[in-house]
Amino acid sequence: MTLIILGLGSSALAQTYNTFEPSKTQFMLRGYGHTGFEYLDTGGEQESTFLGATFAPIFLYKHSDKLMFEAELEFELEGNELKTGLEYADVMYVLNKHMTVRAGKFLLPFGTFMERLHPAWINRLPSRPLGFGHDGIAPASDIGVELRGAFDLGGPKLNYAVYVTNGPRIKDGSEEPEEAGMLDFGYYEDVNLAKALGGRIGLLPLSDSSMEWGISAYTTNSTGAEDSDYKDVGAFLWALDLSYVKSITPLQGVVDIKAQYNSSNVDTATYYEIEDGISEPYSFDNQSSSFYTQLSYRPIMSGSDFMKQLEFVGRYSDFNAPEGAEWEEKSTQYAFGLNYWLSWRSVVKFSYQTTKMEGGHDSDGTTRTNGLFVHWAIGF
């Protein structure tokens, strides 16, 4: 009897223990958040504010070794309102060792900044370079299908991505006259039958993968609604990107260089501005460009534990919007930062940024904006 009880007991204990084995399907909640303080001086007009926390949960569902669903939500306080967004939500399947298919809303591999570097705990500065984000010229995400993969070339490596998406909508000026001719990459509903085609090829020529060169292209034949005058207005965008990350012993630290050039060419079209109640047609050569380069240095080989956690950052960026457009603009920005890494995914950033803007949204003259930022970001 004792043996039977012992046997049953050990069997039950083993079953209980087995419940701790990982399930075949796995679910993870990850993400990041940040908060901070900003002081801005725009042409003598000053403002300062603590920033409401931004929270971006990432949901990962691994169905098998090949099939996964991923999604990222965004929650941000803007003034008194809670803004929500869906950064991406896509399903992916590994077709073979060199190819994965993704479908849904995904971050576009147009260069590397928006796809890989923009999250607050990764971005070395509190702000994005000019040309990215709201009113930027680089597409960030869209809805469609993508194939991507990578090859080992016996030392060097090559990666690729090609995708088809709904594409952008051109702003015709009916809602916001000062933005007529601007591509709206945040309008995800397809307004016509045409689709956008894009892709990126990345080459890592060195065996230690310290350097990556990338070239991206993105094109569509139509950006206007099917029944509008802008149906045949197409667009072609391209980008070049560079990444170099290397631990350099004489410098006792890691040097990280990033750069990206974006070019946008939209077919010329006629827009209308209302002056004194009269609609006046106008047109312009719709070409925009932006560029940024960033250098950061972390003295991880320093003898001081405090110094090891520091990072020094400098970034230059510029943005040129079309001459003759209501949103004509030439801007340059310098940003300098000092970061303190609390862990590999939590950083406190101190930075100073100065931006000189000529024009911009139908304004005349030059505006200089200086800002001081303290941000605290954490990934989880």
Partner 1 sequence: MASIMVACSSNKKPIATDTATEVAGSEVDFKIEKSGAQLWGEVCNRCHIAPSPADYNDTDWETISLHMRVRANLTEEEITKIESFLKSAN
- Chain residues that interact with partner 1, rule: CB under 8 A: 10-11, 13-14, 17-18, 20-22, 26-28, 30, 60, 62, 65, 68, 70, 92, 94, 97-98, 100, 102, 109, 115-117, 121-122, 148-152, 154-155, 157, 159-161, 202, 207-210, 212, 243, 245, 254, 256, 341, 343-345, 379
Integer CA distances (angstroms), 148 to 142, 186, 200, in order: 16, 23, 9
Q: Which helix (H) or strand (E) holds 189?
A: none
Residue whose CB is less far from partner 1, 120 or 233: 120
- Rounded Cα–Cα distance for residues 289 and 111 (Å): 13
Name residue 209's amino acid.
Answer: S
Where do the DSSP E strands lie in 43-130?
Answer: 45-62, 67-78, 81-96, 99-107
- What's the rounded Cα separation, in Å, for the pair 88 and 103? 10
Minimum distance of partner 1 from residue 148's CB (angstroms): 6
In the complex, what is the shortest distance from the CB of residue 160 to partner 1, in angstroms, rounded to a whole number? 8
Nearer to partner 1 by Cβ, of 87 and 273: the residue is: 87
Nearer to partner 1 by Cβ, of 256 and 326: the residue is 256
Q: Least CB distance from residue 68 to partner 1, whole Å?
A: 5
Shortest Cβ 137–partner 1 spacing (Å)? 22
Query: What's the min distance (Å) between Cβ of 32 and partner 1?
Result: 11
Q: How far is the CB of 259 from partner 1 (least distance, A)?
A: 14
**Cα gap 245→250, rounded to integer Å:** 15
Q: Which residues pair with 345 in a beta bridge?
A: none
Q: How far is the CB of 50 from partner 1 (least distance, A)?
A: 26
Cβ proximity to partner 1: between 11 and 46 the closer is 11
Nearer to partner 1, 82 or 86 (CB): 86
- Give the separation between CA 122 and CA 106, rounded to whole angstroms: 18
| Three-state secondary structure call for residue 360 | coil
**Among 98, 99, 118, which Cα is nearest to 108's?**
118
What's 23's DSSP letter?
Answer: P
The residue with tokens 């003259």 is 365
Kindly tell me which of 210 and 354 has the beta carbon lying closer to partner 1: 210
Q: Select 27 or 334, whichever has its Cβ closest to partner 1.
A: 27
- Residue nearer to partner 1 on the CB measure, 17 or 306: 17
Q: Which residues of 193-222 are buried (b: 16+ CB within 10 A; e: fewer)?
A: ebbbbbbbebebeeeeebbbebebebebbb
The minimum distance between CB 168 and partner 1, in angstroms, equals 23
Compute the least distance from the CB of residue 121 to partner 1, in Å: 7
Give the residue with the Cβ less far from partner 1, 169 or 200.
Answer: 200
Helix intervals (H) in the chain:
2-18, 305-308
At its nearest, how many Å lie between partner 1 and the CB of residue 18?
6
Three-state DSSP at 197 gives strand
Nearer to partner 1, 70 or 328 (CB): 70
**How far is the C-alpha of 31 from the C-alpha of 377, rounded, in Å?**
11
DSSP symbols for 244-298: EEEEEGGGTEEEEEEEEEEEEEE---EEEEEETTEEEEEE---EEEEEEEEEEEE
H-run or E-run covering 225: none
